[in-house]
């Protein structure tokens, strides 16, 4: 009798370790998460991966035998071929961590290995905002900007697993801002949450008459991206300018994607989409204004719908795809 008919997805993050189980039909039947101590080091991290996987299977009322394969979505710079995290910027001391070999040894299951942005892209393409689209580009708008390309239900990895690194495509040449990657003028240097805050502090330093409402949280050092978007909605002119610049920078990045890849859908995910419809409207407006009209209908740019589940779902789908391939 065929007993193993489920796939498990693991999403390794800087703040939480998540696991979820999907059925062969692709339905999420159970998930859970545990907080991660990002300073605990890779040894504790690998132990937590094992714990979360076992807990997830157990609390779903299943046995390890029921799981056909496991997918692991991981952050940072990875060696795709060997299943190793080379350097996870948000996790202290995670250098050269052999995640796939470790999980293979413990669970004796086939392990799919992919980066977290690609996992979220795959999740959204199969079960979220990109469902039904032949081609989709996913952007995660978080501290930085990640991305993933999906064509006919599969991730386009590229030679080094770097395809879809949209955050580090260049949008500014004349007076480019420095980016976290060491280059200048990248999309992330304008539209990632960290950059939005940096630009906010710069603008506030020049707002000599202190007209903006953002001075108060800035002086308390509590200023967040959410404050900037909220203030823009309430008519704060400085915040409005910041949101307008962020939207136009993102639109430039999206126009580059549209003209290069001509996808059916562009899906925006990550913490910054909490900014809401006003943000989306502005991005759509810029894109519609400047892109070839054939590839910018407006509604083909939308927000992700799976939230925090996108990564585990994508990782589980990658596990299923890996078995179908072999
Ligand atoms: Zn960059």
pLDDT category, 139, cuts 50, 70, 90?
very high
The whole model's pTM is what?
A: 0.92
**Architecture category of domain 6-123+308-325 in CATH:** 2-Layer Sandwich (3.30)
The per-residue pLDDT for 72 is 98
Q: For residue 36, report the distance from its CA to the centre of ligand 1, in Å.
A: 27
pLDDT category, 187, cuts 50, 70, 90?
very high
Q: For residue 186, report the distance from its CA to the centre of ligand 1, in Å.
A: 5
Question: DSSP string covering 164-190, please?
Answer: T-GGGSB---SSPPB-TTS-BSBTHHH
pLDDT digit string, tens, across residues 114-124: 999 999 999 99
Strand partners, 8: 21, 70
Residue 62, phi then psi, degrees to nearest 5 = -110, 175
Q: For residue 144, report the distance from its CA to the centre of ligand 1, in Å.
A: 9
Average pLDDT estimate for 78-88: 93
The ranges of the chain annotated as CATH 3.30.420.40 are 6-123+308-325, 133-304
Residue 237, phi then psi, degrees to nearest 5 = -65, -40
Half-sphere exposure of 158 (CA within 13 A, CB side): 14
pLDDT category, 279, cuts 50, 70, 90?
very high
CATH class, range 133-304: alpha beta
Question: DSSP string covering 132-156, please?
Answer: T-SEEEEEEESSSEEEEEEETTEE-
Decide which of 324 and 54 is more confident: 54
pLDDT digit string, tens, across residues 143-179: 899 999 999 999 999 888 889 999 999 999 999 999 9
Query: What tokens were used for 62?
Result: 């299943």
Average pLDDT estimate for 100-108: 97
The per-residue pLDDT for 63 is 95
Q: For residue 189, report the distance from its CA to the centre of ligand 1, in Å.
A: 7
The per-residue pLDDT for 1 is 44
Q: For residue 182, report the distance from its CA to the centre of ligand 1, in Å.
A: 6
pLDDT category, 106, cuts 50, 70, 90?
very high
Q: For residue 169, report the distance from its CA to the centre of ligand 1, in Å.
A: 7
Average model confidence (pLDDT) across the chain: 93
pLDDT at 266 over 80: yes
Half-sphere exposure of 293 (CA within 13 A, CB side): 1
The per-residue pLDDT for 195 is 95
Name residues whose C-beta falls within 8 Å of residue 234's C-beta, 6 or more positions apart in sequence: 213
Average pLDDT estimate for 33-56: 93
Per residue in 89-108, is it b (16+ CB within 10 Å) or e — as a string? Answer: eebeebeebbbbebbbeebe
Which residue, among 98, 100, 95, 253, has the nearest Cα to 170 in the 3D structure?
253
Task: Decide the pairing of beta strands 154-155 and 145-151.
Answer: antiparallel
């Amino acid at each position: 009798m065929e007993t193993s008919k489920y796939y498990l997805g693991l999403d390794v993050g800087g703040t939480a370790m998540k696991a979820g189980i999907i059925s062969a039909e692709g339905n999420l039947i159970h998930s859970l998460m545990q907080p991660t101590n990002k300073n605990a080091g890779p040894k504790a991290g690998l132990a937590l991966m094992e714990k979360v996987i076992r807990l997830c299977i157990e609390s779903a009322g299943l046995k390890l035998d029921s799981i056909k394969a496991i997918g692991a979505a991981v952050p940072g710079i990875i060696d795709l071929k060997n299943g190793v995290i080379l350097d996870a910027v948000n996790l202290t001391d995670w250098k050269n961590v052999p995640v796939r070999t470790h999980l293979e040894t413990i669970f004796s299951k086939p392990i799919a290995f992919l980066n977290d942005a690609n996992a979220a892209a795959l999740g959204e393409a199969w079960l979220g905002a990109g469902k039904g689209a032949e081609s989709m580009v996913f952007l995660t708008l978080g501290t930085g900007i990640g991305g993933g390309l999906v064509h006919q239900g599969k991730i386009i990895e590229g030679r080094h697993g770097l395809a879809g690194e949209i955050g580090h495509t260049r949008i500014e040449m004349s007076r480019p801002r420095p980016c976290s990657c060491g280059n200048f003028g990248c999309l992330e240097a304008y539209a990632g949450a960290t950059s939005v805050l940096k630009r906010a502090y710069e603008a506030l330093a020049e707002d000599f008459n202190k007209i903006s409402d953002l001075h108060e949280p800035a002086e308390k050092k509590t200023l967040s991206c959410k404050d900037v978007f909220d203030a823009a909605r309430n008519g704060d002119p400085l915040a409005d300018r910041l949101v307008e610049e962020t939207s136009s920078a993102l639109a430039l990045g999206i126009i580059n994607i549209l003209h290069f890849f001509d996808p059916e859908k562009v899906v925006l995910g990550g913490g910054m989409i909490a900014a809401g419809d006003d943000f989306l409207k502005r991005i759509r407006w810029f894109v519609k204004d400047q892109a070839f009209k054939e590839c910018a209908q407006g509604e083909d740019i939308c927000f992700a719908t799976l939230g925090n589940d996108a990564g585990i779902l994508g990782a589980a789908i990658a596990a299923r795809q890996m078995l179908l391939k072999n």
